[in-house]
């Protein structure tokens, strides 16, 4: 599909000419309005697929332009690569050349990753890509080998989570633009860190969205919570599908990005014979083969359906991995006691044990929140296809106050949350700052210019939290203080912050140190709840004649467990130990059959079975 339809946008040629192409199938006349050095109109020619084309000689990089539609309106290019004056301003031509120095980088498998999710604007005081580059040494020393960057497509103003982007091909100017992003990817690869980019293919933001003026980009067949549904299977959908496929390939090829986290793929409505994600995964696999570099597609999906990550030859869509919100919900509700809103389906140890063992909590059971039976088994998919987390941007930022686990849990419970995530057989993901116990919130912020939209967003946030029993006032998204409050403090010098960071570093290294931790086959993990009333979870992990016993105490009191196995236990980790700024370990360093092992409140212990 991507090869059938011409690439839209402005493309500089080796002879200094520039090709312009835009899809506007219902327009009777389209002209290029080139604004530099002085405004000049160039008539464009329409092809049989509704694309309009022209070539202009001697066009410099940086020249700005718009398209004049039917002599009625001048609008930016939907496939703009740069919006230096924001979402309402003219588009600009870019030079795509870059001096890459990552020729030895071949990427990483999904199962090898320890992912660190971050937001470019709030990760550092510089609020841009350079601020991330300056922290790559720190991230690598922590053991991070993949960063996942929240969306960078051009959005209104300079403060936004990124899901209101309206120019999918343009890199946010305030972050550093095309050059800044390529420099970040290049530097990350030199540090041995893969880069995953969050992309939004299910909707477009409201402000600066002129797509409907160009053609049938949207369909009335479906709805999304964020705006009109993009047209992936209705009349005229071919060009829309090609546009987003070409966008994905641009990031993975031209920008050397290693993977895409695709936002809410359940809202990519497509009832056609070949689902959009299946078509995309086939082309991404082909790019991986031709480039010799690993390329990944990770789905965020509110469906407990392994279809999206099942191979195409087995009837699936061929994506490589997916987020698992249910692991988070089970862990969060168990540790915090919150069982309102969508947490009403969780709470108690059983849900977490199910997710630890089966990945999904709901595999066909009845959901009280959804009012229906929900989910399917993922037993045919290995653990390393699933990304889990104790915190992420959604689960923090979509709380009314954007409060982190740091402000909800004791220090011991924070360490327990880290151990649960990092010792699971799934792919772990951290959210920026959690490793040192950041206390500043991550709140929802915007910098729109449309007053009606500003009011609508503010009111919508207040209505969103009606089903939760949270106290306080909803932070105003438009206020600069909401953004400032969400910028990391990097207060990492306290004893607690140092101990927590060292614990994360130890557990990340531990994942690769033992064969049992590296084994992600379903049969390698056995989960038990030996004492349900005590909130004790027991997990056995095995691989290559290596056996580990993991014990998690989610209660607020000491719990004892009598070991009944035959092997001798040698303790490798105890979150309550003084080295982790804990109250002190109670469990023996070596234990034998019938010996009693005591766990401090909210603690985790790992034994190797000799």
What is the reported pLDDT for 44? 98
What is the reported pLDDT for 204? 97
What is the reported pLDDT for 468? 65
What is the reported pLDDT for 461? 84
* CATH class name, domain 515-609: mainly beta
Domain boundaries, the chain: 9-92, 147-507, 515-609
Residue 551, exposed/middle/buried by CB under 10 A (0-12, 13-18, 19+)? buried
Superfamily of domain 9-92: Immunoglobulins (2.60.40.10)
Q: Tell me if residue 300 is catalytic.
A: yes
Cα(177)–Cα(231) distance, rounded to whole angstroms?
28
What is the reported pLDDT for 7? 81
Inter-axis angle of helices 276-291 and 237-253, to 10 degrees?
Answer: 30
Encode pLDDT of 478-530 as tens digits. 999 999 999 999 999 999 999 999 999 999 999 999 999 999 999 999 999 99
Q: Tell me if residue 263 is catalytic.
A: yes
Cα(445)–Cα(583) distance, rounded to whole angstroms?
39
Nearest to 408 by CA among 317, 334, 467, 518: 334
* CATH class name, domain 147-507: alpha beta
Share of the chain above pLDDT 90, in %: 92
Of the listed 198, 263, 338, 534, which one is catalytic? 263
What is the reported pLDDT for 531? 82
pTM score, two decimals? 0.97
Residues of the chain below pLDDT 50: 1
Domains 9-92 and 515-609 share a fold: yes
Of the listed 117, 300, 338, 384, which one is catalytic? 300
């Amino acid at each position: 599909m991507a090869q059938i339809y011409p690439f839209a946008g402005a493309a500089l040629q080796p002879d200094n000419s520039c090709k312009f192409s835009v899809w506007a199938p219902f327009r009777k006349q389209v002209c290029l309005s080139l604004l530099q050095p002085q405004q000049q109109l160039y008539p464009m020619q329409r092809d049989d697929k509704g694309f309009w084309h022209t070539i202009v000689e001697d066009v410099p990089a940086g020249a700005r332009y718009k398209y004049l539609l039917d002599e009625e309106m001048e609008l930016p290019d939907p496939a703009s690569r740069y919006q230096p004056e924001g979402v309402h301003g003219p588009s600009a031509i870019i030079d795509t050349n870059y001096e890459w120095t990552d020729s030895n980088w071949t990427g990483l498998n999904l199962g090898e990753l320890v992912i660190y999710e971050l937001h470019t604007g709030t990760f550092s005081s510089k609020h841009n890509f350079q601020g991330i580059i300056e922290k790559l040494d720190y991230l690598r020393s922590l053991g991070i080998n993949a960063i996942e960057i929240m969306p960078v497509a051009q959005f209104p103003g300079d403060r936004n989570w990124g899901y209101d982007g309206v120019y999918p091909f343009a890199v946010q100017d305030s972050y550093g633009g095309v050059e800044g992003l390529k420099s970040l990817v290049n530097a990350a690869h030199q540090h041995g860190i893969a880069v995953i980019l969050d992309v939004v293919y299910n909707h477009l933001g409201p402000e600066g969205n002129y797509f409907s003026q160009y053609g049938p980009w949207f369909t009335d067949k479906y709805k999304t919570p964020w705006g009109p549904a993009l047209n992936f299977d209705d009349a005229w959908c071919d060009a829309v599908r090609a546009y987003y496929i070409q966008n994905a390939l641009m990031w993975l090829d031209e920008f050397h990005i290693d993977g895409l986290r695709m936002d809410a793929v359940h809202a990519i409505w497509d009832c056609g014979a070949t689902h959009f994600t299946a078509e995309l995964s086939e082309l991404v696999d082909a790019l991986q083969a031709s480039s010799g570099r690993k390329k990944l597609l990770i789905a965020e999906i509110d469906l407990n359906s392994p279809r999206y990550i099942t191979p195409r030859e087995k009837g699936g869509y061929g994506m490589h991995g997916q987020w698992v919100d249910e692991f988070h919900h089970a862990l969060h509700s168990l540790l915090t006691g919150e069982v309102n809103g969508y947490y009403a389906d969780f709470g108690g140890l059983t849900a977490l044990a199910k997710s630890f063992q089966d990945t999904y909590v709901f595999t066909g059971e009845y959901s009280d929140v959804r009012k229906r039976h929900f989910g399917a088994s993922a037993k045919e998919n290995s653990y390393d296809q699933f990304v889990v987390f104790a915190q992420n941007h959604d689960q923090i930022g979509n709380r009314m106050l954007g409060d982190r686990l740091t402000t909800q849990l004791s220090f011991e419970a924070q360490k327990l949350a880290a151990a649960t995530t990092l010792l699971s057989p799934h792919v772990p993901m951290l959210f920026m700052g959690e490793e040192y116990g950041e206390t500043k919130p991550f709140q929802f912020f915007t910098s729109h210019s449309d007053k009606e939209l500003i009011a609508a967003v503010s009111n919508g946030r207040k209505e969103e939290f009606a089903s939760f029993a949270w106290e306080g006032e909803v932070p105003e998204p438009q206020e600069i203080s909401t953004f400032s409050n969400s910028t990391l403090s990097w207060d990492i010098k306290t004893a607690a912050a140092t101990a927590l960071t060292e614990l994360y570093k130890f557990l990340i290294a531990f994942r690769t140190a033992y064969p049992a931790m590296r084994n992600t086959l379903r049969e390698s993990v056995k989960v038990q709840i030996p004492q349900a009333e005590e909130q004790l979870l027991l997990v056995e992990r095995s691989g290559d004649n290596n056996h580990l016993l993991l014990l998690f105490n989610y209660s607020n009191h000491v719990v004892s467990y009598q070991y009944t196995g035959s092997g001798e236990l040698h303790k490798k980790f105890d979150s309550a130990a003084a080295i982790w700024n804990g109250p002190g370990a109670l469990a023996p360093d070596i234990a034998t059959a019938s010996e009693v092992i005591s766990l401090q409140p909210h603690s985790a212990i790992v034994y190797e079975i000799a």
